[in-house]
A and B are shown apart, each in its own frame.
Chain A
Amino acid sequence: MKLLWLSALSCNGNVHSFFNYEKIDSFLKSFTFIYHPAIESDYTLQDIVKKDIPCDILLLEGTLQEGLQKAGVDIEDLIFRYGNKVKKIITVGTCASFGGIFLDSEEKYGLHYRKKEPHDKFISLKEKTINIPGCPIHPQTLASILYSIKKEFEIPLDPYQRPKEFFAFTTHNGCLRNEYFEYKVDNHQFGNIEGCMFYEHGCQGPFTNSSCNKILWNEVSSKTRSGHPCLGCTEPTFPKYNFFETKKHMGIPAHLPLGVPKRAYLSLAGVAKTFKIERFEKKLI
């Protein structure tokens, strides 16, 4: 299967993340890049711009911007040219999906969304697009979706066109700090394995859709497992500010666990906080 990887405004973080895919050798036997900004490929960017090279999937990385050119051609023209021909388009990372970290003016956007707001600039391509956000993307998520396309599996999507398989649950699902969360104990020091980071340290895990704690990074860890709060990087609202401090209104977290009504959360939290559980108050190792 032939892939075209196009970069718009990008730090190339997704390129590097994908290099960490554990089975990349086997992957490259099943897929060929007609062009990739960092992997040796059959064609140059000049070839891609000048000719119409056959390919099956367009991978788009980076924030789009009015007038942005690639090898002297407007990137929008390239997206339409190749987008119209391919079977599927994948936005690789939050920038291409929702605008992401480079979104600082009205002239910038993701392929179909500007943060949460849909736009219709590429509406004719929307039906064939799958958004895989993340800053960066999880390499296994991208690889799995590509294999699913190749095998012609059905890929159910959520309202932001993210594959449900990887984005229906939250980062909180699989987090090893859940017993601290249940009893509302933050008591965390950065890097430590004890404590929950939701209450004081800005963790966005309970309201961020991702598989980070189910499909581990480099097969060993995740942000929350290593003592760093989830930054919510797979969400259209990324980046928020003040990553390491929980925004609160008179002591109550401004963002509650996904889908949990405020009254239900506060009732439960009020009871849970009452109990002082010694084991949760100290370092265990």
Chain B
Amino acid sequence: MQDRKTQKKEQIIKASLELFAKKGFYTTTIPDIAKSIQMSVGNMYNYFKSKDILAKEVIKYISSFLGSELQKINEKDITSEEKIKEIVSVYFKTAVEKPEMIDYFLRVFLSNRETFKNGCEGMVCVNEFVTEIMIFFEEGVKKGELKDQDFFSAFGLFMGYLGGMVFLNGENILPTKLDDYIDDISTNIYNALKVE
């Protein structure tokens, strides 16, 4: 029973992500989401008591998805330079194939802190993703490949850069495909983080 409930929850999260991307976070209602998966509004509340609770579960779902992708990279026996390229590739691939995920992170989670202030303080709801980034940095420093520096200086440089590029891509400002930037961006990030 628990498994079925979890599956149903995931179905709701996926449907709400699509609707948030299509209609916007504030204009999408619980009845809209229920309707999109042929579920009664009453039943929907058995899974999520409010839209705020759903919003927090959605960001945890995205963090968990990206975290598990990064964990696979972290567990590979490759250099930090190669890992950076793989992380950039995964992030851009997700932005292209599942744009609703990155979109939600950038446009909903980061922009609507009121919704997330109770229960998603700081990095609580994106913990799985941030943990993998921490492990990547820590192992890179330990292997002597990355410079030992303040975590947030490195985190901001890495994630801010990727988020910015995905934003520009989403606004159709980039003259070429996001994938075409993987090599240059990976090199730039590596040059900024490597041991001098």
Contact = CB atoms under 8 A, between A and B. Distances in A.
B151 A270 contact: no
Given A273-B122, A274-B121, A274-B122, A252 B134 contact: yes
Interface string B128-149: 1011001101111110001011
A270 B142 contact: no
B121 A275 contact: yes
A89 B122 CA distance: 55
Contacts of B124: 270-271, 274
A262 interface: yes
A183 B85 CA distance: 34
B94 interface: no
Contacts of A251: 134, 150-152
Contacts of B71: 263
B115 interface: no
B154 interface: yes
Given A249-B142, A252-B151, A254-B142, A263 B123 contact: no
Contacts of B121: 274-275
Nearest to A274: B122
**Interface residue tally on B, bucketed by range:** 20 to 34
Contacts of B148: 248-250
A242 interface: no
Contact of A250 (B122, B123, B131, B141): B141
B169 interface: no
B29 interface: no
A267 interface: yes
Nearest to B127: A270
Contacts of B141: 249-250
A266 interface: yes
A267 B123 CA distance: 10
Interface string B109-129: 000000000000111100110
Interface in B130-180: 130-131, 134-135, 137-142, 146, 148-152, 154
Interface string A243-269: 000001111101000000011001100
A247 to B, nearest CB: 10
Contacts of A270: 123-124, 127, 130-131, 134
Contacts of A266: 131, 134-135
A254 B152 CA distance: 17
User: Shortest 9 CB-CB distances between A and B: which pairs?
Assistant: A274-B122, A251-B151, A249-B141, A250-B137, A252-B138, A266-B131, A249-B138, A270-B127, A274-B121
Given A250-B138, A251-B134, A273-B122, 4 more contacts: A250-B150, A250-B154, A263-B135, A270-B124
29 contacts: A249-B138, A250-B134, A250-B137, A250-B141, A250-B151, A251-B134, A251-B150, A251-B151, A252-B134, A252-B137, A252-B138, A254-B142, A262-B135, A263-B71, A263-B135, A266-B135, A267-B127, A267-B128, A267-B131, A270-B123, A270-B127, A270-B130, A270-B131, A270-B134, A271-B124, A274-B121, A274-B122, A274-B123, A275-B121
